[in-house]
Structure 1
Amino acid sequence: MTEDSLPSIDPQEFRKAVTTRRSVRQFTSEPIPEDVLQDCLDLALMAPNSSNLQMWNFYRVTTPEKREALIKACMSQKAAKTAAELIVCTGHTRNWRQHAKDILARWPGEPPKVVRQYYGGLAQFMYGSVPMDMLGLGARAKKTVRDAIGLVRPMMRTPNTDADMELWAAKSVALACENLMLALRAYGFDSCPMEGFDEPRVREICGYGRHEFTVMVIAAGRRHPKGIYHEQMRFDRKRFVHEV
Structure 2
Amino acid sequence: MGQNESDSLMTPTHTPHLQAFRQVVESRRSVRRFTNTPIPDAVLEDCLRLAMMAPNSSNLQPWEFYVFDSADKRKHAVKNCMNQNAAKTAVRLIAVVARTDNWHAHAQQILQEYPDTPVPKKVKSYYAKLVPMDFLRGPMNVLSVAKWGATQAIRQVKGPIKSPYYTFEDVKNWATNNTALAAENLMLALRAYGFDSCPMGGFDEPAMKRLLNLGKDHHIVMMIGAGERADNGIYETQFRFNQAQFVHHV
TM-score range (shorter-chain normalised) is: 0.7 to 0.9
1:120 maps to which residue?
Answer: 124
Provide the C-alpha distance between the structure 1 equivalents of 2:91 and 2:163, rounded to a whole number of angstroms.
Answer: 42
- Describe the SS at the equivalent of 1:43: helix
**1:156-201 Cα distance to aligned partner (Å, 9 max, x none):** 244412x332212111110100000000111111111123111121
Preserved contact between residue 84 and residue 200 of structure 2 (Cα < 8 Å): no
Is 1:144 matched with 2:152?
yes
Offset at residue 111 of structure 1 (A): 6.3
Equivalent residue number for residue 33 of structure 1: 40
The alignment status of 1:187 with 2:193, answered yes or no, reads yes
* 1:160 aligned onto 2:164: no
More deviation, 180-189/227-236: 227-236
Matches of 2:66 and 2:95, distance apart in 1: 5
TM-score normalised by the chain length of structure 1: 0.76
Which residue of structure 2 aligns with residue 97 of structure 1? 104
Larger Rg: 2
Alpha-carbon contact 2:43-2:193 (below 8 Å) kept: yes
Runs of 4+ in 1 over 6 A off after TM superposition: 15-18, 136-139, 232-235, 240-243
Q: Which amino acid aligns with 1:225?
A: D
Contact 1:85–1:219 (Cα < 8 Å) also in 2: yes
1:209 to 186, 204, 215: 215
| Post-superposition offset of 1:209 | 1.6
- Structure 1 residues 202 and 147: CA distance shift in structure 2, 3 A: same
Supply the distance in 1 between the matched residues of 2:186 and 2:61 (Cα, whole angstroms).
15
- What is the deviation of 1:18? 6.3
Distance 1:53 1:77 in 2: 33
Q: Which residue pairs with 1:84 in the alignment? A: 91
Matched residue type, 1:164 = D
Q: CA deviation at 1:75?
A: 2.8
Compute the displacement of 1:74 (Å). Answer: 4.0
1: distance between equivalents of 2:112 and 2:57?
19
Matched residue SS, 1:131? helix
By how many angstroms is 1:34 displaced?
A: 1.1
Measure the CA separation in 1 of the matches of 2:188 and 2:154. 38
* Native 8 Å contact 1:84 1:221 kept in 2: yes
- Alpha-carbon distance in 2 for matches of 1:183, 1:159: 34
SS at match of 2:155: helix
CA spacing shift, 1:167–1:44, aligned 2, 3 Å: same
| SS of equivalent to 2:224 | strand
In 2, distance between residues paired with 1:240 and 1:141?
A: 44
Distance 1:181-1:229 versus aligned 2 partners, 3 A rule: same
Partner of 1:3: none
1:129 corresponding residue in structure 2: 133
Q: What amino acid maps onto 2:218 in structure 1? A: E
C-alpha change, 1:142 and 1:154, in structure 2 (3 Å) is closer
Identity of aligned residues (%): 43
Could you tell me which amino acid in structure 1 is paired with residue 51 of structure 2?
Answer: A
Q: 1:197 aligns with which of 186, 192, 203?
A: 203
Cα separation, 1, equivalents of 2:238 and 2:118:
48
Change in Cα spacing, 1:82 to 1:138, as seen in structure 2 (3 Å) is: farther
How many residue pairs get aligned? The number is 223
Q: TM-score, normalised by structure 2?
A: 0.74
